[in-house]
Amino acid sequence: MKVEILFDKDAMTRNLRIGWGVSFLIDERILFDTGESSRWLLENMRNLKVNRS
């Protein structure tokens, strides 16, 4: 099982948004929670090159 953190209170790089809450992508197909802001989550997904289809 692969779990990728998309949104959290800390970030590994400066180009990612941070905030209250957490969002995980499980096995590249299951989104668990959206964190504080769906807009910031989508921005992080673009910056992490996560396929949204």
Domain that holds residue 41: 3-47
Q: Residues 27, 19: contact at Cβ < 8 Å?
A: no
Tokens of 2: 């692969």
Into how many domains does the chain fold? 1
Decide if 53 is inside a domain: no
Decide if 14 is inside a domain: yes
Residue in this structure with the two tokens 């997904």, named with its chain if needed: 45
Q: How many CB atoms lie within 10 A of CB 33?
A: 11
3-state secondary structure of 4: strand
Decide if 16 is inside a domain: yes
Q: What is the model's pTM?
A: 0.84
Decide if 52 is inside a domain: no
Decide if 34 is inside a domain: yes
User: pLDDT 10s per residue in the chain (53 long)?
Assistant: 999 999 999 988 899 999 999 999 999 999 999 888 999 999 999 999 998 87
